[in-house]
Amino acid sequence: DTAVSQTPKYLVTQMGNDKSIKCEQNLGHDTMYWYKQDSKKFLKIMFSYNNKELIINETVPNRFSPKSPDKAHLNLHINSLELGDSAVYFCASSQVGGRLEAFFGQGTRLTVV
Amino acid sequence: DAKTTQPPSMDCAEGRAANLPCNHSTISGNEYVYWYRQIHSQGPQYIIHGLKNNETNEMASLIITEDRKSSTLILPHATLRDTAVYYCIVRVASSSNTGKLIFGQGTTLQVKP
């Protein structure tokens, strides 16, 4: 069983479109994250949810809207896609407190053309 | 969270030990040292973490200096599959922490046959 799974793995879309990336974790963790890895391979956190509540929003454009229907899911919706949104997006989860070891999904490679 | 400094790249012969250094001279007393790695096209993977004592698990060993200003991740018998970017991250591990990981540039380890 995959601990943190993201869909789709690849996403190619045109500028101006709206797209969503889904993430699910089966680890029973209460915190989930979205990270973005740009073309220079720099990994940066975007959002974090703890028990469906937003706890981190790292100055991300409001075209990006995370949604957490329950603590096992954290989806990322992106409106009006721009060329600069092209990147690999990683979902992660952890149990806040204790070791705080995070588990990452395999990533979604988004290409905006 | 404290800043870390790592060499940008290192080579290691297959079967030999890989020793990856990390400097964290501004680390606070309640901050742990975490190591993650990212194999090409995959999500980051937790390796090990420690506070002040040396730690060992099935993947690696972590040696932290007595003053805690630096540490070394040791892969005892590197294989080609250990080729990856290795990230050293220093952070507080507590229930009040958001769990956010701040990734630097890491060290690209190339294991050669």
B59-112 pLDDT tens trace: 999 999 999 999 999 999 999 999 999 999 998 776 666 778 889 999 999 999
Q: Distance (Å, rounded) from C-alpha A43 to C-alpha A100?
A: 18
Q: Find the range with the poorest average confidence among A91-95, A98-102, B47-51.
A: A98-102
Q: What is the pLDDT of residue B5?
A: 95
How big is chain A by its Cα radius of gyration, in Å?
13
Nearest CA in chain A to B50: A99
The reply to whether residue B99 touches residue A90, judged by beta carbons under 8 angstroms, is no
pLDDT(A69) > 70: yes
Using the Cβ of B41 and the Cβ atoms of chain A, whether some distance falls under 8 Å is answered with: yes
- Largest alpha-carbon pair distance within chain B? 45
Three-state secondary structure call for residue A106: coil
Q: Distance (Å, rounded) from C-alpha B66 to C-alpha B51?
A: 11
Distance, C-alpha B78 to centroid of its chain: 15
Compute the nearest-CA separation of B44 from chain A (Å).
Answer: 6
Residues in chain B with CB shorter than 8 Å from the CB of A55 are: 98
Residues in chain A with CB shorter than 8 Å from the CB of B91 are: 100
Beta bridge partners of B72: B21, B63
Pair of tokens at residue B111: 């294991």
The reply to whether residue A48 touches residue B43, judged by beta carbons under 8 angstroms, is no
Q: What is the pLDDT of residue B83?
A: 98
The reply to whether residue B93 touches residue A99, judged by beta carbons under 8 angstroms, is yes
> Chain A: which residues have CB within 8 Å of chain B?
4, 31, 33, 35, 41-45, 48, 50, 55-56, 90, 92, 94, 96-107
Task: Tell me the pLDDT tens digit for each residue of B2-27.
Answer: 689 999 999 999 999 999 999 999 99
pLDDT(A98) > 60: no
- CB proximity under 8 Å: B 80-99 to A: 85, 91, 93-95, 97-99
